[in-house]
Structure 1
Amino acid sequence: MAATPRGTTPVPPDARPRLTVLSGPSGVGKSTVVAHMRKAHPEVWLSVSATTRKPRPGEQHGVHYFFVTDDEMDKLIANGELLEWAEFAGNRYGTPRAAVLEHLESGLPVLLEIDLQGARQVRTSMPEAQLVFLAPPSWEELVRRLTGRGTESPEVVERRLEAAKIELAAEPEFDTTLVNTSVEDVARELLALMNVV
């Protein structure tokens, strides 16, 4: 049995919240929606992913991501310490397994913000998880958001757009789709799906 976070009592399995996975194409606003949601409901535990990507301005190790080397990521994968992992735009991302299981066992609502490959792996390893797809209002809006970031080269943006076409085609694999026309509305809808009031 996994340890529970300090000061908590394990919650019976049938009373535990389901793991919720939020996925969608790069630039659709996943991080913005999650930040808005967690500001109002900090009890929702957001898994912090490990990544081999270099930090963007303002990102902090252990807060936004665990920034790891390729060798460290290889060890996490080899030791089965990741619930899921995927490669995207030349970098690898993964969800540390133990922390997710500990927080679910303690009764906290747990949210993973991951890509399509990762969502598919979670569906296989935890079929009871709730998969939510965040869609853009339109293709044109997604292109505008990705090109407007200004943090990546045109080549990386083009790779992200190509990946977005594949991700949008996979929408039917998800339990629910939310269209990101308003951050506030989507955050509220996501909280309702998670039974967080």
Structure 2
Amino acid sequence: MADKGLLLVLSGPSGVGKGTVKSAIVKNKVFPFEYSVSMTTRKPRPGEVNGKDYFFVSEERFKQAINHGELLEYNRYVDHYYGTPLTPVKKMLEQGKDVLLEIDVNGAQKVREQMPDGVFIFLTPPDLHTLHERLENRGTESEDIIMGRIKQAREEILVMQDYDYAVVNDEVANAVHHIKAIVDAEHVSVKRVIDTYRKMVRED
């Protein structure tokens, strides 16, 4: 039976570049992982594909998933629901595959409650001015919504203390390099490999 995979949780304030960093990891094949596709009630942005970027569903379907215990975590953010389907994540981990969740701060907190052995990585902007520029450059939200996200980011950055690692997204390549180092280190950490060696000793 394969060793259990790592649950990698990449989180941080809105606009910090979680999606961009994840895409760079995928494009450059930095390390192998399965990506957990989130469910949301918001409309697709230009270029987003249903089932690949998100599962885009109605609010009625999302609430049904909540009531049936189908979600690892979920949250309502700026008038829309976001959540992580539970069954695919558990199945991939049991198959020995690493799973990457790209979720917001509230979602990460809920995941830690259910799966505390995950690897929690907080992606932070170099500063709030840079974060504001990135949100503006997306061109998808009004200034009022952007300012609301900045205000929330101030609060979310302080939650970093509940994470295992902090990675500054100054340059995407730098952030990817640090995340790769974290994954490599976690795969050889004693807490994750000790059971394999205990089994080896018992069988010798």
- Correspondence for 2:67 among 74, 78, 84: 78
| 1: CA distance, partners of 2:61 / 2:146 | 27
| 2: CA distance, partners of 1:144 / 1:50 | 27
Work out whether residues 104 and 110 of structure 1, in 8 Å CA contact, stay in contact via their aligned partners in 2. yes
Point out where structure 1 has 5 or more consecutive residues left out of the alignment.
Answer: 1-9
SS at match of 1:92: strand
Aligned partner of 2:26 in structure 1 is 38
SS at match of 2:6: coil
1:144-191: per-residue Cα shift (whole Å, max 9, x none)? 111221111222212212221111111111110000111112112212
Aligned partner of 1:88 in structure 2 is 77
Aligned partner of 1:149 in structure 2 is 138
SS at match of 2:155: helix
Aligned partner of 1:63 in structure 2 is 52
Letter in 1 for 2:93: L
Work out whether residues 47 and 110 of structure 1, in 8 Å CA contact, stay in contact via their aligned partners in 2. yes
Query: Runs ≥4 in structure 1, deviation > 6 angstroms?
Result: none
Identity among equivalent pairs (%): 42
| 1: CA distance, partners of 2:36 / 2:125 | 23
- 1:136 is displaced (CA, Å) by 0.3
Count of aligned pairs between the two proteins: 184
Q: TM-score, normalised by structure 1?
A: 0.89
1:32-80: per-residue Cα shift (whole Å, max 9, x none)? 1000001122731111000001110111100100001000000100111
Letter in 2 for 1:46: Y
SS at match of 1:170: helix
Aligned partner of 2:106 in structure 1 is 117
Aligned partner of 1:137 in structure 2 is 126
Q: TM-score, normalised by structure 2?
A: 0.86
Work out whether residues 89 and 160 of structure 1, in 8 Å CA contact, stay in contact via their aligned partners in 2. no
| 2: CA distance, partners of 1:119 / 1:34 | 16
Aligned partner of 1:21 in structure 2 is 9
Work out whether residues 109 and 194 of structure 1, in 8 Å CA contact, stay in contact via their aligned partners in 2. no
Tell me the C-alpha RMSD between the 2 structures.
1.3
- 1:139 is displaced (CA, Å) by 1.1
Work out whether residues 74 and 107 of structure 2, in 8 Å CA contact, stay in contact via their aligned partners in 1. yes
| 1: CA distance, partners of 2:25 / 2:170 | 15
1 or 2, which has the higher helix percentage? Answer: 2
| 1: CA distance, partners of 2:28 / 2:181 | 13
SS at match of 1:191: helix
Work out whether residues 5 and 92 of structure 2, in 8 Å CA contact, stay in contact via their aligned partners in 1. no
Work out whether residues 87 and 93 of structure 1, in 8 Å CA contact, stay in contact via their aligned partners in 2. yes
Letter in 1 for 2:75: A
SS at match of 2:100: strand
The structure that has the greater radius of gyration is 2
- 1:109 is displaced (CA, Å) by 1.1
